[in-house]
Structure 1
Amino acid sequence: MLMETLLPFSGIIFLIALGVVVLTQQFRKNLYREQLENEELKRFHQMELVRSSILVQEQERKRIAQDIHDDLGAVLSIIKMHLLQAERKYIDINAQLPLEIQNIRKLTENVIENMRRVSHELMPPQLEKFGVVQTLEQMCIQLTNSGKIKCEFSASENMNSEYSNDELLQVTLYRICMELINNTIKHAEATFLSLSMTFSDSEIRVVYRDDGKGVLPENTTHGTGLKNIQSRVSLLEGNIFLEEGPGFSTVIQIPFHLKNSLLVGK
């Protein structure tokens, strides 16, 4: 009789214990899911802060470049004009142009040239006007025409039109590619480089190669350049792969879905 009486209670206790185990597991699952969601939300906010910071920096670069061009450029042009007028006075009286004026004119021309270079490095005017594809294409043409290195460039036809309204993406792609090109010119001792940009339904793909001496150790300037590239690729939640072989070769993949998120973040 006692056993028959205890059996129902044992079943009830077992069910209660089972329920406690199930509830505990469910609680842990919910807690783990909540932690993942919080971490994802935190990561998203951090990325948004980084994107906003980068966008502000690029806008400030643009403003400084415009100020240099408009203000300093105008002053230097006036100085050069006065120097030319002074030179004409000496020419009109068949007098020898003083060496000081010649030196000042040469220095002024050098300053104007350096000012234009710095202004273009801060924010190339053609990037805003024509987009990253045409800007890089013209850069490669200029490199090849310089005779220092042969540059080949290719891009899918719909690449530029798909992303032309996304300023942050355009500028970041430009900075990445220019960092790669500068690394090759400064450190690789290469005679040839190629850059291709293709667009698909899922990603942007950048393939870069040169015939130089390859990747240098991390503690060199070249290594620092690669770190800068990696940080910009991470900003776009992309991946960068270094390929083995002669010279330097890398593939950069940037997810397509970022088109919308970057536009929202502008």
Structure 2
Amino acid sequence: MPRTVQTIDMTQILSILRAIAGQLDFRGVVSAASAEISALLPHDHLDVAIMDSKRTMVSAYETGLHTEWDASTTATKPVKVSPIRPLFLGKVDYILTDDAQNDPRFHFEGAFSKPIFAAGLRSRLHVPLKVERRVIGALSFSTQEIGTYRLEDVETARIVADILSSYFFALQQSELVRQSELQQVQAEARAEGLRIGALHLTEELENARQALGMDLHDQTLADLSRIARGLERAVGKPSLRGAELQPLHDDIEHCLRELRVIIDNAKPSVLQFFGFGQAVEALLERSVSSSAGLTYCLQDDGDTGLDELPPNTVVSLYRIVQEAINNSVRHARATHIAVSLNRHRGAARIVIADDGIGLGTAPGRRTGGLSNIRTRASLIEADLTVASGSDGKGTRLEILLPACTPAAQPVKASLP
């Protein structure tokens, strides 16, 4: 039986306005308006599609039958794949079809029309949502029957769209303001975190300078003084035999070894000449040799692409690993350290895990070390995760950073 076309009156307009008043999100407005509109424009499916500020992407909010266009089901979609893109682009002022399943306007290359067909939607009526004559979206009515809507229904749909468009525009602007404020707060938080972190790094740099001075004073200067005294004693002798020169030779060799350690701590030459993996292994060996009862394991897949990153980034990653290992050795009372270098979803991944006392009971010194690690990670835009171990014991630190393609890596020398 043909449907009687109804025209909208002031009472129905007020009913729609009262229904949507106080709704604070798109879905709430669509759902509230649907019940009031159904007597005027019957529908199995009603949706509102809103374009973003650049008018290139669209989000849909549905009631009744739900499709893959709904924002809760799929992310925003490009306007260019919408079956009603001429409406969004202002090329037409409405779209009316008796059967969308067989209407060529809904069938074009790249069209995201599958949701329409999957829901069995046939009769469709689409009108633009406008604010100050500018299209911001579309209001759509659909049924599973053929030939539900007539040309006379277009004017009613336009009146409903005019009622709703300003409300949707206000919600959209409110959301944009909220997102902008959130981004500003996040940016300020990051800036403050970097400021505090930079302060910690400055303190650590000063501590490193002092430690370097102490090492040179206590190790190298003492060795050189001992060598100088030995040479003074030898000056008065007419000749020296091999046995008398051996102590001087041993002292010089010891001094050179200590200098190499000090220099390598300040500038890791192993990293430069042999690559990231072997530099970490050398670091682990030194740490273990200086701590009784501590063991380690290193898993290096060899295809991380870390060595192809900018030199400053590689050094920063090395310092992060160094700080993490130092934390485990000095503060966590760990007996085992495991380091893994591999790829994860296209990114280089570094994992340092220990079986120590964990984060909850870690001394303040370790907390300061973690702050430095976080700052270094932020400066090179690496993703950092610090958590307890899988069994609730120890600490697990993970760094993720986009890396170069393994095929582009040069062959590194191997440690002798």
When normalised by structure 1's length, the TM-score is 0.59
Distance 2:356 2:385 in 1: 23
The answer to whether residue 345 in structure 2 is matched with residue 201 in structure 1 is yes
The answer to whether residue 319 in structure 2 is matched with residue 152 in structure 1 is no
Shift of 1:46: 4.6
Q: Which residue among 138, 161, 171 is the counterpart of 2:282?
A: 138
Secondary structure of the equivalent of 1:157? coil
The answer to whether residue 310 in structure 2 is matched with residue 166 in structure 1 is yes
Which structure has the larger Rg?
A: 2
Q: Which gives a bigger RCO, structure 1 or 2 (Cα 8 Å, sep 6+)?
A: 1
Residue 230 of structure 1 aligns with which residue?
374
Structure 1 residues 88 and 34: alpha-carbon distance in aligned structure 2, compared to 1, 3 A threshold = same
The answer to whether residue 264 in structure 2 is matched with residue 120 in structure 1 is yes
Distance 2:176 2:364 in 1: 47
Residue 24 of structure 1 aligns with which residue?
170
Distance 1:163 1:131 in 2: 6
Identity of aligned pairs, percent? 18
| Contact in 2 for aligned 1:143/1:151 (Cα 8 Å) | no
Structure 1 residues 218 and 212: alpha-carbon distance in aligned structure 2, compared to 1, 3 A threshold = closer
| Contact in 1 for aligned 2:299/2:341 (Cα 8 Å) | yes
Deviations 1:115-150 (A, max 9, x none): 654433232222233332211112233445567332
Secondary structure of the equivalent of 2:345? coil
**CA-atom RMSD in angstroms:** 5.1
| Contact in 2 for aligned 1:76/1:112 (Cα 8 Å) | no
The range that moved more, 218-227 or 131-140, is 218-227
- Tell me which protein shows more strand as a share of its residues: 2
Unaligned runs of 5+ in 1: 1-6, 95-101, 260-266
Map 1:101-116 → 2, pairs under 5 A: 116=260
Counterpart residue type for residue 322 of structure 2: M
Counterpart residue type for residue 296 of structure 2: C
Secondary structure of the equivalent of 1:238? strand
Residue 239 of structure 1 aligns with which residue?
385
Structure 1 residues 254 and 43: alpha-carbon distance in aligned structure 2, compared to 1, 3 A threshold = farther
Map 1:35-50 → 2, pairs under 5 A: 35=181, 42=187, 46=191
Distance 2:271 2:166 in 1: 63
Distance 1:112 1:252 in 2: 36
The range that moved more, 112-121 or 19-28, is 112-121
Secondary structure of the equivalent of 2:331? helix
Distance 1:221 1:75 in 2: 29
- Tell me which protein shows more helix as a share of its residues: 1
Map 1:245-260 → 2, pairs under 5 A: 245=391, 248-256=394-402
Structure 1 residues 31 and 157: alpha-carbon distance in aligned structure 2, compared to 1, 3 A threshold = same
Structure 1 residues 81 and 256: alpha-carbon distance in aligned structure 2, compared to 1, 3 A threshold = same
| Contact in 2 for aligned 1:183/1:225 (Cα 8 Å) | yes
The answer to whether residue 326 in structure 2 is matched with residue 177 in structure 1 is no
Q: Which residue among 192, 195, 212 is the counterpart of 2:336?
A: 192
Structure 1 residues 134 and 86: alpha-carbon distance in aligned structure 2, compared to 1, 3 A threshold = same
| Contact in 2 for aligned 1:205/1:251 (Cα 8 Å) | no
The range that moved more, 109-118 or 141-150, is 109-118
Distance 2:183 2:333 in 1: 48
Shift of 1:164: 2.8
Deviations 1:200-231 (A, max 9, x none): 33333333333444446355323332333333
Distance 1:248 1:92 in 2: 63
| Contact in 2 for aligned 1:218/1:224 (Cα 8 Å) | no
Distance 2:386 2:363 in 1: 19
Shift of 1:154: 1.8
Secondary structure of the equivalent of 2:366? helix
Shift of 1:91: 4.3
Shift of 1:37: 6.1
Structure 1 residues 222 and 28: alpha-carbon distance in aligned structure 2, compared to 1, 3 A threshold = closer
Structure 1 residues 213 and 91: alpha-carbon distance in aligned structure 2, compared to 1, 3 A threshold = farther
Deviations 1:75-132 (A, max 9, x none): 99998876554332144479xxxxxxx9xxx8x9998776654433232222233332
Counterpart residue type for residue 153 of structure 1: L
Distance 1:227 1:171 in 2: 18
